[in-house]
């Protein structure tokens, strides 16, 4: 009986190890890959970074809506959506467009790139601004309690934003591991 139990555990462990990547890809899908690749490339972003933001924001649910009314895959608020559409020169923008995966990914990538340019490519600051607001990040950078050099943050006062930055970075590394050829 002990032998059979050990054999079963060994077989199950072997099967699990063989299928770990398949299981991980199920947990960390790369849905909307064509849109992610296209707009990540257009806006000079790492597609795995974009996928990590989407996974963190909406778990790839295109109809996701937050308590703050952020919408779609990349959880863009109506106010940010209007602002981004205006900056992008989109004339026929409607809030309902945020539920469209292609539109949401395009606008989200544009916005991430806009933040990337503002924060000189510091992706931690980009993530903090995407979640906690660019104005807050600018304020924190000027405060010695949060930034020693005015260029990076050693302390993020919003717990949600601090957790968000760390979570996206972990998920980004998982996506790179799973999908990078």
Going from N- to C-terminal start, the domains of the chain cover 1-30, 31-179
Catalytic residue annotation: 57
User: What CATH number has the domain spanning 31-179?
Assistant: 1.10.530.10
According to DSSP, the residues that pair with 71 across neighbouring strands are 65, 76
The answer on pLDDT for 128 being more than 80 is yes
Q: Model pTM?
A: 0.90
Residues sharing a CB contact under 8 Å with residue 110, sequence separation 6 or more, in sequence order: 39, 43, 84, 87, 88
pLDDT tens-digit profile of 135-145? Answer: 999 999 999 99
pLDDT, mean over the chain: 96
């Amino acid at each position: 009986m002990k032998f059979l139990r050990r054999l079963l555990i060994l077989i199950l462990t072997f099967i699990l190890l063989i299928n770990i990547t398949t299981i991980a890809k199920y947990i960390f899908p790369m849905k909307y890959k064509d849109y992610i690749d296209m707009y990540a490339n257009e806006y000079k972003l790492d597609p795995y970074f974009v996928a990590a933001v989407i996974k963190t924001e909406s778990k790839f649910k295109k109809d996701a809506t937050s308590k703050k009314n952020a919408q779609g895959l990349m959880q863009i608020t109506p106010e940010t959506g209007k602002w981004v559409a205006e900056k992008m020169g989109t004339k026929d923008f409607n809030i309902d467009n945020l539920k469209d995966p292609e539109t949401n990914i395009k606008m989200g990538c544009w916005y991430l790139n806009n933040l990337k340019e503002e924060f000189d490519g510091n992706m931690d600051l980009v993530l903090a601004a995407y979640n906690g607001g660019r104005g807050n990040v600018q304020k924190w950078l000027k405060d010695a309690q949060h930034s020693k050099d005015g260029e990076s943050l050693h302390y993020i006062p919003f717990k949600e934003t601090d957790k968000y930055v760390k979570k996206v970075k972990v998920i980004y590394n998982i996506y790179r591991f799973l999908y990078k050829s």
